[in-house]
Structures are given as structure tokens and as C-alpha cells.
Structure 1
Amino acid sequence: MKLIGSLTSPYVRKVRVVLAEKKLDCPLLVQDVWSEGTTIGQSNPLAKVPCLVLEGGEALYDSRVIVDYLDTLSPVGRLIPPAGRERAEVKTWEALADGVLDAAILARLEATWAGRTEGERSHAWMDRQMGKVHAGLAALDQRLQGDRPWLCGTHLTLADIAASCALAWLQFRFADQPWSVQYPQLARLLDKLMQRPSFIDTRPPQP
């Protein structure tokens, strides 16, 4: 199988971290989905990454679908409980972290997309999206209060990976904002995960 993605996408990073934690070998094919020459549409009709192409040529897309599948391929480092309330809890926190990213990316596109002039940008829209970002991060940070080591259970799960990928991307793309100060418990989790080879090896290239 092969993973189609970019080096800066936080959703792709989430998948790459899971691959590393599960000790699964999967080459990364770097694609710029904004390029006129991109071929991502041949595998994902939505032209989005990440996209996991399986051995037979079938494709899986959406990072949540991909990581769910990857966690079944190896018993090493189980990241998602197999069933029940514990599974729903991990997937809910993953969905919240991904929702933070969804909102932040919409805000950034509104602020930076070259297809609009400054007068055409909606600051009310950007404020609305960033309000969602802060609400999501506050909930994640609150979950970690009291020196709780992980978001769910007693060991690393997909919830921790998703939350850390989200905060790391915000620090990368919105570097002027004091994320670590505003959300110290979440920053503590990120600092811990940044010591793991899976996070070290997936750092995006610095601008």
C-alpha cells in the first residue's frame, strides 16, 4: 500500500504517526493538491489528502477511516479500543481534534487564499471559525487537568495523536498566537509526544 499526502497536512501527519506507532511500512507519495498537475483525483474524487491506496488499487480516504483501518493491521501499539464506550470515547476526542483543524484551516484559507482580495475576505467568518478552534482546544485542555497523562485511559491512544497533531499544526501555521500559554495541559501532552520518533520523523519542513 502507499499513502498519498503532503508534508504539511496535519491529517496526513496523523496517519503517518499511526503508521510509525504501528510499525507499518508504507511509502509516502507527496502531492500538492493545489497544483494544476496533481493526480490525486484519480484516487480520491474529492481531490483531498490523505489517501491510502491499497495493494489491489482500491483507495481509502479521510484520515479517520484510514487510521481506523491501520489500527487493525497490527497488534503492535493498539490505538483504538475494539468496541464499546471506550472506542466511542477515543473516536469522539479524535473528531474534536479534527474539528479544531477543520475550523482553523477554513480561517486560514479565508485569510490567505489568493483568489480573493483583502476587501472580499470575511473577518466575521474567520472569527467564527477561530471561536470553534478555541472552544475545542479548551475542551481538550480541560480533559487533561490534574496532570492526567492521556486523554483516554492509561496509555497513548489515537485521541492523543490527533490532539497533538492539531496543536502542532496551529503552532506551525499560527505561530504568532500563544497556544502553549493558553492551553498548558495540551502543550504538556504535545511536548511529551514530540519526544517520540513518530512525531520527530513527521515534523513538517520549516518555512
Structure 2
Amino acid sequence: GLNIEPTIVDPWADDARLRRANAATRVPTLITDEGVPLTESLLIVQWLEHLRPAPDWPSLLGGAVGGVAGVLSRAGVAFGVIDAAVHTIIIRKVTVPVLFDDTPVGLRRRRTMAEGMARLESAAAQGQLTGRDNGHHAAAPTLDAICAIVALDYLRFRFDGRPWLPGMPALGALSASLGQRPSFVQTLPR
């Protein structure tokens, strides 16, 4: 893998380092060895795919042509969950949480999180989120598995125990497995 040295910042604090690198002051932001800032998760993934192309490196999109659409579809579900969760937290920071949660927009975001995680749980239970690519590069997770676990971990952090969240034992098992990888351990927010 790449030797990336994480810098933990508080994006709510308007950190000057983050602001210099990213006008939107959002995480993640990756600064290349050449000093070029890359922003937004999916753009960073595209850069990684270009920097380390298959077949020499395992692709985050998987290797089977027909499977790429499935990986991207499931990653999109996870991104939808993450967006709904983050927007809920942001709105709660600037309004009264109880009022927002029961608005049509708040209820829609909650539904997005619940239904999205139910779909990802089903995919994990069916073996679609194993992080494997039909036996090739079996140790490398694909983008859908990574995004699903990030979504799960974020919901556990922000909304743990909420009755509207579905049971997610298959995702929990996948999280426990992938969570031992150095890439997950080193980038887990502290």
C-alpha cells in the first residue's frame, strides 16, 4: 500500500491547515507527495486507481467487468447513508434536534439511513460485501465493503441504539474482520 501519514483535524474548528488544502474545509483531503491537495472521497479513489492500476494492484472496484457496476451501486447506497447521517448531524448543530428529526426532511434522512443499511446488511449476508474479488486479491476489500463499514461505524458512533436502525450482524462481522487491517486501524478517527 501507500505510506500515507494521517493528520487528524477537527473540521468543525475551521482548522487553518485543512482550509489551506481544501477551500470547503471538508475531510477527507489528501495531499500528494507533490503537494497537490485532493478532495472528496470518490476523487481520491479515482486517483488511487490511476496511481496503482490493475492488474498489478488490486482494484477498489473489483476486477470482473460485470461486477464493477454492483460494487459502485452498493458503494452509492453507503454514500447515501453517510450523506444522510452527516446532514442530520449538521442540521442538529444549527437547529433544535427534536424539531428537525420529526420534519419531513428529517424523517426522509432517517429512512435513507435505515433502508440503506438494510440493503447493505442484505448484501453482506449474501456474501456480496466480502471485500473479495472472485478469488483475485482476496485480501483487498472493494469500495463497497469499505464504504459500508464506514457507514456502519459512523451510524454506531452517532446513532447507536436508535430503534429505527435495522439489525446488522453481517455488517458487524465484516466490520470486525476489515477493522483489523492496518489501513482501517491507522485511519480510524480518534
Verify: 1:116 aligned to 2:95, yes or no. Answer: yes
The verdict on how the C-alpha distance between 1:119 and 1:179 changes in structure 2, with shifts beyond 3 A counting, is closer
Verify: 1:80 aligned to 2:61, yes or no. Answer: yes
CA distance in 2, matches of 1:145, 1:119: 34
Deviations 1:45-100 (CA, angstroms, capped at 9, x unpaired) = 22211112223333221101102211333334432246843323222221211111
Alignment match, 1:65: 43
Alignment match, 1:5: none
Alignment match, 1:94: 75
Q: Is the 2:6–2:187 Cα contact (8 Å) retained in structure 1?
A: no
CA distance in 1, matches of 2:69, 2:100: 38
1:120-139 correspondence runs (5 A): 121=100, 123-124=102-103, 125-139=105-119
| Segment of structure 1 superposing worse, 101-110 or 189-198 | 189-198
Equivalenced residues, count:
181
Shift of 1:191: 2.1
Q: Give 3-state SS (helix, strand or coil) of 1:93's partner.
A: helix
| Segment of structure 1 superposing worse, 132-141 or 73-82 | 73-82
Task: Tell me the percent identity.
Answer: 28
Alignment match, 2:158: 173
Q: Is the 2:129–2:145 Cα contact (8 Å) retained in structure 1?
A: no
CA distance in 2, matches of 1:132, 1:29: 31
Shift of 1:122: 5.1
Ranges in structure 2 where 5+ consecutive residues have no aligned partner:
none
The verdict on how the C-alpha distance between 1:26 and 1:147 changes in structure 2, with shifts beyond 3 A counting, is closer
The verdict on how the C-alpha distance between 1:201 and 1:179 changes in structure 2, with shifts beyond 3 A counting, is farther
Alignment match, 1:24: 2
User: Which amino acid counterpart does residue 93 of structure 1 have in structure 2?
Assistant: R
Verify: 1:40 aligned to 2:25, yes or no. Answer: no
The verdict on how the C-alpha distance between 1:41 and 1:150 changes in structure 2, with shifts beyond 3 A counting, is same
Deviations 1:112-163 (CA, angstroms, capped at 9, x unpaired) = x1x3346764522322211001111111112233455626743431211111
Deviations 1:5-28 (CA, angstroms, capped at 9, x unpaired) = xxxxxxxxxxxxxxxxxx201222
| Segment of structure 1 superposing worse, 171-180 or 130-139 | 171-180
More helix by share: 2
Q: Give 3-state SS (helix, strand or coil) of 1:78's partner.
A: coil
User: Which amino acid counterpart does residue 64 of structure 1 have in structure 2?
Assistant: L
Q: Which has the higher contact order (CA 8 A, sep 6+)?
A: 1
Q: Is the 1:152–1:159 Cα contact (8 Å) retained in structure 2?
A: no
| Aligned counterpart in structure 2 of residue 140 of structure 1, from 110, 120, 138 | 120
| Aligned Cα root-mean-square deviation (Å) | 2.9
The verdict on how the C-alpha distance between 1:127 and 1:69 changes in structure 2, with shifts beyond 3 A counting, is same
Shift of 1:170: 1.1
The verdict on how the C-alpha distance between 1:117 and 1:168 changes in structure 2, with shifts beyond 3 A counting, is closer
Q: Is the 1:89–1:152 Cα contact (8 Å) retained in structure 2?
A: no
CA distance in 1, matches of 2:68, 2:142: 10
CA distance in 2, matches of 1:147, 1:89: 12
